[in-house]
Amino acid sequence: MSVTKSEVLIIGGGVMGSAIAYHVARQGRQVLVVERSEEVASAPAASWASAGGVRRQGRHPAEAKLAVEAIERWRTLEEELEAGVQYRRGGNLLLAETDAEAEQLVTFVREQQDLGFTDVRLVDRLEVTALVPGLHAGVVAGSYSPGDGQADPALTTRAFATAAQHLGATYWKGTAVLALLIEGERVIGARTGRGEIQAEQVVLAAGAWSDELAGTVGLRLPIKMVALQMVLSTPAPRQMLQPVLSAVSRALSLKQVNDGSFLIGGGWPGDPTADRRSYMLREESVKGNWEAACELLPLVGQQRIARAWCGLEAQSIDGLPFIGPIMGLDGLTVAFGFSGHGFALAPAVGRAVSEQLIGRAVPELDGLRAGRIESFQQDAVEEFLG
């Protein structure tokens, strides 16, 4: 069987694999991306399904530095990648519907500013209704992050992939990686449906399927596959809703996309199928998600549900991604476990991983180190994996 050689091999061409590929190619390094689907960002990958929210507010402190960096990059990403990704900086608004929740937001806003999200501020009902006319009468206050926004996840993933290829990266689409190849304590490449690949460095960015490949070298990951749901409405008149909305006491994210449709998410579950390659919708999740959106912004109820879908995402045990080298497996770097909130970070993750691969210190990844995989109690991991 043929053997292909590459300096860097990236497994998975989602928004993470492709952002990393772009940055590695920009360093002038040779990079090969292997993607199982015929096209990057295809169903049911997370980068196909994603809500495309580009937000800092509400991030864990461990992600704060990457989030600040990413937001800066998003401002000019379309020019940089020479592609439209429907990026819009309409802000992010987290709503309180009781006085007690408004009190919580006072502390929340202080925490956001301490994390370096300096534009985040408390807004009262008057300002909230000026930002979003038509909100239900119970909304009393909000935390407003004007620098946040939204973009199209599939367009963004394809833009990174195309830009990477313009810089010399090679994509093998429609090709599955079957196993990692190991020699002693070093990962030296991968076996694929198209033959063996030998690489100096291997990056595992296979999203919710990363555990299958890690298992081929005896690594048990504290991540599990979850199916997260999105609901899309029929198109309303455009530009009725500028910020992305969420609410303290609701599982909800609500935004309006370019054609006027409302895109509704917030972590409502579906179910991965037994073969881990597809999903099943839950009727009660579709209904619950839709009703939450209609209650918060009644004009959503003037529309109908056009479509609902799920994306398969890697949920990590502590809700944070694992990024970086794995101890005891030289040559392997990972980037997975983004737990439903990785999309916004992709430009910064791509930059950070590419620098780590050439031996630079990247302190902004400290709280997300893959080394913490070892730190979880075995019992806790078993219980999490169910």
Q: Which residues bind ligand FAD (CB under 6 A)?
A: 11-17, 34-37, 45-47, 49-53, 153, 176-177, 205-209, 213, 228, 230, 265, 311, 313, 336, 338, 340-344
State how far the Cα of 384 lies from the Cα of 352, in Å rounded to an integer: 29
Shortest Å, Cβ 272 to ligand FAD: 11
Backbone angles phi, psi at 118, to 5 degrees: -70, -20
Neighbours of 277 (CB within 10 A): 12
Nearer to ligand FAD, 147 or 207 (CB): 207
Which of 220, 262, 219 lies closest to 240 in space, CA to CA? 262
Shortest Å, Cβ 209 to ligand FAD: 4
Q: Is 239 left (phi over 0), alpha (psi -120 to 50) or beta?
A: left
Which residues have C-beta within 8 Å of that of residue 259, sequence separation ≥ 6? Answer: 235, 238
Nearer to ligand FAD, 26 or 341 (CB): 341
The residue number whose beta carbon is nearest to ligand FAD equals 14
Identity (one letter) of the amino acid at 176? A
Which of 206, 240, 175 lies closest to 332 in space, CA to CA? 206
Shortest Å, Cβ 268 to ligand FAD: 9
State how far the Cα of 115 lies from the Cα of 101, in Å rounded to an integer: 21
Shortest Å, Cβ 299 to ligand FAD: 21
State how far the Cα of 42 lies from the Cα of 21, in Å rounded to an integer: 18
Nearer to ligand FAD, 13 or 142 (CB): 13
Nearer to ligand FAD, 102 or 339 (CB): 339
Nearer to ligand FAD, 34 or 294 (CB): 34
Nearer to ligand FAD, 149 or 331 (CB): 149
Output the CA–CA distances (angstroms, integers) from residue 8 to 24, 174, 204, 273, in the order listed: 8, 19, 11, 32
Are the C-beta atoms of residues 280 and 181 closer than 8 Å to each other? no
Shortest Å, Cβ 186 to ligand FAD: 20
Which of 287, 270, 277 lies closest to 340 in space, CA to CA? 270
Tokens 């920009």 identify what position?
A: 26
Shortest Å, Cβ 293 to ligand FAD: 14
Cα pseudo-dihedral 355, 359, 364, 367, rounded to 10: 130
Nearer to ligand FAD, 212 or 295 (CB): 212
Shortest Å, Cβ 103 to ligand FAD: 27
Nearer to ligand FAD, 102 or 336 (CB): 336
Shortest Å, Cβ 47 to ligand FAD: 3
Shortest Å, Cβ 304 to ligand FAD: 20
33 forms beta bridges with 10, 171
State how far the Cα of 265 lies from the Cα of 51, in Å rounded to an integer: 7
Nearer to ligand FAD, 108 or 343 (CB): 343
Pairing of strands 244-247, 92-96: parallel
